[in-house]
Structure 1
Amino acid sequence: MSHFNWTLDTGTNYHILRTGCYPYMKYHCSRREVQDLSLEDKFFRVLKVINLGLPMLFYGLAAIRLISHTEIVHVSETVKVPIYFLYAEDKGARF
């Protein structure tokens, strides 16, 4: 899925917009009310098929050089997942 709702146990909902950009996953997350995103999801999927995913491939390859910030997410005591960002997150941001 490219555009979907992600609701937490607390009831807070986020709209997730994501796409693959080899070798990474690019995403945007916005805190918003639950909406039917099926039309947008299909639209983004069609765009990916039409352009054969080439723009995101090139974006991902360029990101290898552009990434300047990494954070480690501890999934469990033994599993650590690195998350890569083009720049550091603003920890004081409202959302």
Structure 2
Amino acid sequence: MLISLYNHLFRSKLLPQASEILRCHIRQRKYPPWTSYFISQYSCLNDQFGKSHFEFDVDGRNYHILRTGCFPYIKYHCTQRMKTYDLTYENRLYTFFKIFNLGIPTLMYGLAAIFLIRHYEIVNTKQHGSVKIYFLLKENYGASH
């Protein structure tokens, strides 16, 4: 509760929501068939906390999102696809695995990413300016699935 109040009063005025960055990145890339990136947890408000597997709409285009917190980052893997069915069951299953494993694999993934990240790009948001997102490798803009 205290963290929520802190985020609402102070950080929300300074930082964009993770969903805004995701939407801006996809638009900036001109709706790619897929993308996969990291964002620093300190660069955004984590408005998608607890969501691991879900559908996300960007200007009428549907993206299948796999997402995990991996300190000090949040990792997104996004694939454009037609909306098919409710992903609530899969989301709960992935969340269960994270809790069951005490978050250790995601922590290790985040710590390894610190050393493996080789590229970054700037995402421009409307209200909060630019934000860096990170990639293990530079993505090929023309690549398909």
Calculate the TM-score normalised by the size of structure 1: 0.91
The CA RMSD over aligned residues, in Å, is 1.4
- Determine whether 1:64 maps to 2:105: no
Aligned pair partner of 2:140 in 87, 90, 93: 90
User: Runs of 5+ in structure 2 lacking a partner?
Assistant: 1-50
Aligned residue pairs: how many? 94
Find the counterpart in structure 2 of residue 80 from structure 1: 130
**Aligned-pair distance for 1:78?**
5.9
Q: Partners of 1:72 and 1:89 in 2: how far apart?
A: 14
Q: Which structure carries more helix by proportion?
A: 2
Displacement of 1:93 in angstroms is 1.4
- Residue 2 (structure 1) aligned with residue 52 (structure 2): yes
Q: Which has the higher contact order (CA 8 A, sep 6+)?
A: 2
The Cα offsets for residues 23-72 of structure 1, whole Å up to 9 and x where unpaired, read as 01112111112121011000001001000110110111111111100001
- Determine the structure 2 residue equivalent to 1:54: 104
Q: Distance in 2 between matches of 1:77 and 1:24?
A: 22
> Which amino acid in 2 is paired with 1:19?
T
Corresponding residue for 1:14? 63
State the alpha-carbon separation in 1 of the partners of residues 54 and 127 from structure 2.
Answer: 30
Partners of 2:104 and 2:75 in 1: how far apart?
14
**1:32 aligns to what?**
81
* 3-state SS of paired residue (1:65): helix
- Give the TM-score normalised by structure 2: 0.61
How high is the sequence identity, in percent, across the aligned residues?
Answer: 53
Gaps of 5+ in 1: none
